[in-house]
Structure formats: C-alpha cells, structure tokens
Structure 1
Amino acid sequence: MIEKRTFKDLAHVNHEWLQARHHFSFGKYWDPARMGFGPIRVWNDDEIKPKTGFPMHGHQNMEIITYVREGAITHRDNMGNEGRTEAGDVQVMSAGTGVMHSEYNLEDEQTRLFQIWIEPRAPGGAPRWDAKAFPKGERAGQLEILASGFDEDISKGALKIGADARLYGATLSTGTRVEHRIADGAHVYLVGSAGQVEVNGEIVSARDSLAIRDISSLQIEAIEDAEFVFVEAWEPQN
C-alpha cells in the first residue's frame, strides 16, 4: 500500500504568525479518518514568522522530533536546555513524565520545519532533549539515520528517542538512486523537503507525502536535486 497526499491537500490553519499544515488531526484540525499513521501521531509542516514562536507549554508521553528545513529554531525548556537548530539539522525531545518548553524563530527570516510526534515505546520516564547537526555534505547520496530508538543506531551517532522508530534523511543529486529495505510490520511515512524524487513509481515533490505499508522496499530516485525524510516505525508492544 502506498497512499500519496500532496501538499495542497493538507489541512491549512492560519495563525498569522504561524502557517500550519497538518498531515494528521491536530489542534483545530480534526478528521477522525486521519488520526495518525500507526504510531506516527503528528506530522506538521510549519512556517514561522521572524521573531515569533511557540511560548512555553507542556507535553508528556510523546517523542517529538523537529527537522528544520529553512532558517532556525531556538529551544528552551524547564530542564535548563537551550539550543539553536539550523536548516538540515534535527532536535529531539522525549516528553516522558512531563516537560515545559518553548520554540522560537529568533531569526530575521522565516523558519520552515517539520514537527513529528511518535508514540513512545512505554509511558513515563525522565524527559530529555538533544540536538545535532547533520551536515548535508556528509549525507549526500545516501540515507542516514538521524534519530532512532535502537542502541545500534545511537552508538553510531543517531539522536536517541524512546520509540520503536527511526528517522531517515537524505539529499540526492539528480539521477542518484537509493534503496531501502522495509522491516516487517513497519509503517513508513515519507515527506519531501526540497526538489523532487520518484518513490516506487510515485512522484514526490517538496512537502508531498507517502504513507507506505506492506511494501518490501523503497526504490528512490532523484528527478532533480532533492532532500527528503521519512519515519519507519512499529506499533509499541504492550
């Protein structure tokens, strides 16, 4: 199963300072047919005006990943963490038993990002935050695991999350091909960030998405210079 959803078909909520597009039900956008994809609960495509952002607010029992597409986002939380994450880089937050945080665009330009929520492996646990630069040059032409809930990936430099999931990212030059074998039982959600790729015969432009199940592998080719990310996730085992 491969279900395509184009960017123009996403729900759009105008908050003036924030232009939010929702892949799944979130906030003011409610669609009982789109409550997530497996354990992937939220995928928001946000455009944040300069000198604005999300004031201090709370979460619990959710793994939250931010992939910055353009500009930068500055994070602060009640654990004493503060960090600025730039375009192409990733920050992760395990909300656990509860965390308060803010996310602001302190830049002079608009910030564009993907915000991804994944159900945790288990509720509770100490909240945590981390961020890391993933230089595009090092990721060019191949898939890289950016965040993971598995020790073997974390030991190789992936950011740690508390979910049975991996976040992959890649930049491909025109004509470059990559293949990814999908593990049994996985939900895969792929979103284009820039350019255009062909995935198993489906054309994915920037900010389009594919929901993928029961497919053994992904065959990805860049139609033009492109950047994309995808989550491969499994339902929590209770």
Structure 2
Amino acid sequence: MIELRPFASLGGADHGWLDAKHHFSFAGYHDPERMHWGNLRVWNDDTIAPRSGFPTHPHRDMEIVTYVREGAITHQDSLGNKGRTAAGDVQVMSAGSGVAHSEYNLENETTRIFQIWLLPRALGGAPGWGSRPFPEGERSGRFVTLASGYEADDDALPIRADARVVGATLLSGETADYPLGRDRKAYLVPARGAVRIDDVRVNARDGAAISDVEVLRVTALEDSEIIVVDAV
C-alpha cells in the first residue's frame, strides 16, 4: 500500500524566520489521520532564514534526527555538545531523561532541513548527541543507513528506537531496492527530484506512506535525493 501525501497538502506555518511544513500533526496543525506512521511521530520540512533559528528549549523521551538538505545547522545543548552539520549530513539527539538545546542557522544563506522524531523503545536514559558526514558518493545508486536503532548497523548514527533512517541518491532512470519487510512501515520523502514507486509518482518534498511491501523499489524519474524512515 502506498499513500501519497502531496507537499501542497501538508500542514504548517510561516513564522518569517521559519517556514515549516508538517507531514504529521505538530504544534498548531492537527489532522487525526496524520498523527504518526508506526513509531515515526514527526517529519517537519523546515526552511530557516540566515542568521536565525530555534532558541534553547527542552525535550525528553524522543529520538530526533536532523537531515540537512541545504546550508548548515549549528547545534548546542545543555550537555556541552556543540557542532555544525552541513548539507547531506545527519545529526541525532537522544533526548532521554531530558535535554535543552538550540539549533541555529549561523550561515549567510538559507538552511533547509528535515527534522524527524521517532518514539524511543524505552523512556528515560541518559541524553546524547552525535553528528557525522555522509558523502553523497556513498549513497550513489543505493540505500545506506544514516541512523539506526540496531547494533548490526554499526556504521550509522545510533538511535534508541526500533527504526532506521536511510538515504539514497539516484540518477534519472536508476532503480534502488530496499528490503523493508511486510511487517514494517516506511515513510519516503525526496529531498529533490522525483521518483516512482510502483505506479505512484512522488515529487520533491511529497511524502509517501508505505506498508505491506516486502521490498521497496524506487526508480528515479529525475536526478533525486531520497530519505526513508523504516519504522515499526
């Protein structure tokens, strides 16, 4: 099953410095049909103006994965962590028992990110943060795991959720397969380009909620950059 969620149908709000689109109910946007997809709770498509960002605020009991599409985001938290994550790279914050953090675009250009929240497999635990580069060449023509809650994915950033975040870059006409499994759910968003899944076209920033699929087969209709959450 594939449910297409066109970008134009997403909720959201334009705050001036932040233009936020929500694939799932979030803040002032509520849609009872779009509360979550398995343990995927939030997928926000955020455009952040230069020299602006999210001031310090708290979180707990959530796994927060940030994929930077354009520009860069600078993180700072109450644990003493500080780091800059640039386009194509990923950061993960495990909020655990509680952490306060800020996320700023300190660049002179617009930053665009996907912010993905996953429900943890257990509450509490020590909070943590990590970031790493994922060169585009590593994802060329195939899916690679960016963040994972499974020990077998030791090259990925660790999260405390029964989920994976995977990415691929495909040239027009290329096809990539991802072994999902019929007992799991996937949510796919092209950061750029357009892809086809079965007979469904998914354009840049559209969402596709996918279930009851043993192998997810994605064909690029244009040069494309794809992010997928594999959830339960």
Q: Distance in 1 between matches of 2:200 and 2:88?
A: 24
SS of residue matched to 2:212 = coil
Residue 145 of structure 1 is matched in structure 2 by 145
Residue 188 of structure 1 is matched in structure 2 by 186
Contact 1:24 1:34 in 2 (8 A): yes
One-letter identity of the residue aligned with 1:187: K
One-letter identity of the residue aligned with 2:39: P
Give the CA deviation at 1:172. Answer: 0.6
Q: Distance in 2 between matches of 1:138 and 1:166?
A: 17
One-letter identity of the residue aligned with 2:206: D
Residue 209 of structure 1 is matched in structure 2 by 207
SS of residue matched to 2:152 = helix
Q: How many residues align?
A: 232
Give the CA deviation at 1:45. Answer: 0.3
Deviations along 1:169-206, whole A, 9 cap, x unmatched? 01011111111121242111000101111112211111
Residue 18 of structure 1 is matched in structure 2 by 18
Q: Distance in 1 between matches of 2:183 and 2:60?
A: 26
Residue 174 of structure 1 is matched in structure 2 by 172
Residue 111 of structure 1 is matched in structure 2 by 111
Q: Cα RMSD over matched residues?
A: 0.8
Q: Distance in 1 between matches of 2:210 and 2:139?
A: 23
TM-score, L = length of structure 2: 0.98
Residue 123 of structure 2 is matched in structure 1 by 123
Contact 2:93 2:128 in 1 (8 A): yes
One-letter identity of the residue aligned with 1:134: F
Deviations along 1:28-73, whole A, 9 cap, x unmatched? 1112221111110000000000000000000000000000000000
One-letter identity of the residue aligned with 1:38: G
Ranges of 4+ aligned residues in structure 1 off by more than 4 Å: none
Q: Distance in 1 between matches of 2:133 and 2:46?
A: 20
Residue 227 of structure 1 is matched in structure 2 by 225
Q: Percent sequence identity over matched residues?
A: 56
SS of residue matched to 1:97 = coil
Residue 69 of structure 1 is matched in structure 2 by 69
Deviations along 1:196-232, whole A, 9 cap, x unmatched? 1111221111101100111222111111110010000
Structure 1 gaps, min length 5: none
Q: Distance in 1 between matches of 2:93 and 2:213?
A: 30
SS of residue matched to 1:151 = coil
One-letter identity of the residue aligned with 1:28: G
Residues 28-107 of structure 1: pairs in structure 2 closer than 5 A:
28-107=28-107
Contact 2:182 2:211 in 1 (8 A): no
Q: Distance in 2 between matches of 1:28 and 1:183?
A: 34
Q: Distance in 2 between matches of 1:163 and 1:67?
A: 17
Give the CA deviation at 1:7. Answer: 0.7
